[in-house]
Structure 1
Amino acid sequence: MFSWFWSVLGKLGLLSKKGKIVFLGLDNAGKTTLLNVLKDDRLTMHIPTLHPHSEDLVIEGIQFQTFDLGGHETARRIWKDYLATVNGIIFIIDAADPSRFPEAYEELAALLASEELAKTPICVLGNKIDKDTAVSEHELRRAIGLTENLTYGKKYQPSSTTRPLELFMCSVSKRMGYIEGFRWLAKFIP
C-alpha cells in the first residue's frame, strides 16, 4: 500500500521537493524519539543526544535532511552553526513539563529574534500530550508567548505577511499530531 502511495506521489511530481530542517528544543522534549519514529517507525528509549547527527527522510513526499542537535545546555551553543542554510525548524517542547516552559520560551525567543531566520518557517510541536501533566494548547501558547494572533495559522496562506510560525500539539509515543506539523512546514519548502 505504501509503495503504491509513494509511486502516485512521484507521478504527480510531489516527491521533487527537498529541504534541510533542524530539530531543536530542550533536552528530553522528544527530538531523537521523533526522528527515530520517522526513520524506522520504532519507539525506543534514548540516552541524551551528546553530538549532532543527521538523517535523510521522506515525509509527506518531501525529502528532508534532518539534524538532531541535542537540547542540553552545552549542545544549544552550537545550534547557530546549523541555522544559516536551513529551510525549516522543528522546535519541540515537552508539554507535560511546565517547569521547563520559561527555559523553552527563552530558546524559542532567541530563534525568533535572529534576523537570519526571519523568513525561516518554525513548526513548534507541543509533545507528550498523552501524559496527565500535559497542558492544553492555549496554556502552552501563553507560556511560550505564541498567542494565536502572532502565529501564521494552520491553514497555508501564501499571501500572508506573518512570519511562518505555528504550534501543533502532538504525542510522538502515540504517533499523533506531528504529521500535521510536517505537512504545514512542507508547504514552505521550495
Structure 2
Amino acid sequence: MIKDDCLIQSAPTHYPSSEELTLGNLTVTAFDLGGHEIARRIWKNYFPIADAIIFLIDAADFERIDEARAELLDLITDEEISDIPILILGNKVDKSSAMDEKTLKEKLGIGKICTGKELPVAEGIRPMEVFMCSIFCRFGYGDGFRWLSKYLK
C-alpha cells in the first residue's frame, strides 16, 4: 500500500479494505479488493460506487498472465462499468524478468483499445491506459495516478 509517500509491504489481500487517499487536489476512497479467485467474486458488488478501476498486475508473472487477461477483459466488457476509466499498472518492472509495456499490452489483448497517455480522450470513449511501475522502487505509479485523476470528478 502506498500512502503519505510511504511504502508498506503487505500480504496478498484476503478481505476487502478501503482507505482515503489524496491525489493532488482530489481525495478518493480506494478499495483494495484483491485479485485471487475468491476475491474476484465480489468485485461486482463494488461496481455501483466505482468511479475508476486500478488494475494492478505483476508484469514479471508470465504464468498468470492468461488469468489476468481474462479478468481484465471481463471488466472491460461489463456494461455496468463501461464508462469508467481503467488504469492498468504493470508492476515489478524492477525485476529483470518483467515484461515491457508493449509486451504486456499484447499479452493482455488490449494494445488496440488503450486510449493513450495524452489527454483528452474523445467523448464516449472509455479512458484506459497502461503505466509500468515498481511499487517497491517507488516509480511509475505516480504518472498513472496523475493520468487517472484527470478523468475523476
- With the length of structure 2 as denominator, give the TM-score of the two structures: 0.94
SS in 2 for 1:84: helix
- The question of 1:137 aligning with 2:101 is answered yes
Tell me whether 1:151 sits opposite 2:114 in the alignment: yes
Q: In structure 2, give the amino acid aligned to 1:63.
A: T
CA displacement at 1:163 relative to structure 2: 1.9
Structure 2 stretches of 5 or more lacking a match? none
* 1:55 counterpart letter in structure 2: E
Which residue is 2:24 aligned to? 60
The 5 Å alignment of 1:89-100 reads 89-100=53-64
Identity %: 46
Structure with the largest fraction of helix: 1
Cα displacement (A) at 1:48: 2.1
1:82 is the counterpart of 2:46: yes
* Matching residue of 1:29: none
In the alignment, the residues of structure 1 paired with residue 94 and residue 136 of structure 2 have an alpha-carbon distance, to the nearest angstrom, of 8
User: What's the TM-score once normalised by structure 1's chain length?
Assistant: 0.76
Alignment of 1:120 onto 2:84: yes
The superposition leaves residues 8-52 of structure 1 with CA deviations (integer Å, 9 ceiling, x where unpaired) of: xxxxxxxxxxxxxxxxxxxxxxxxxxxx22x24333432221110
| Aligned length, in residue pairs | 153
Is there any run of 5+ residues in structure 1 with no aligned partner, and where? Answer: 1-35
Equivalents in 2 of 1:172, 1:160: separation in Å? 32
Question: 8 Å contact 1:95–1:135 — kept in the other structure?
Answer: yes
User: AA paired with 2:63?
Assistant: S
What's 1:4 paired with? none
Which stretch of the first structure deviates more once superposed, 57-66 or 155-164? 155-164
Q: Which residue does the alignment assign to 1:179?
A: 142
Tell whether the 8 Å contact from 2:76 to 2:82 is kept in structure 1 after alignment: yes
Cα RMSD (Å) of the superposition? 1.3
Matched, 1:46 2:10: yes
Q: Deviations over 1:102-131 (max 9, x none)?
A: 000000000011001111000000000000
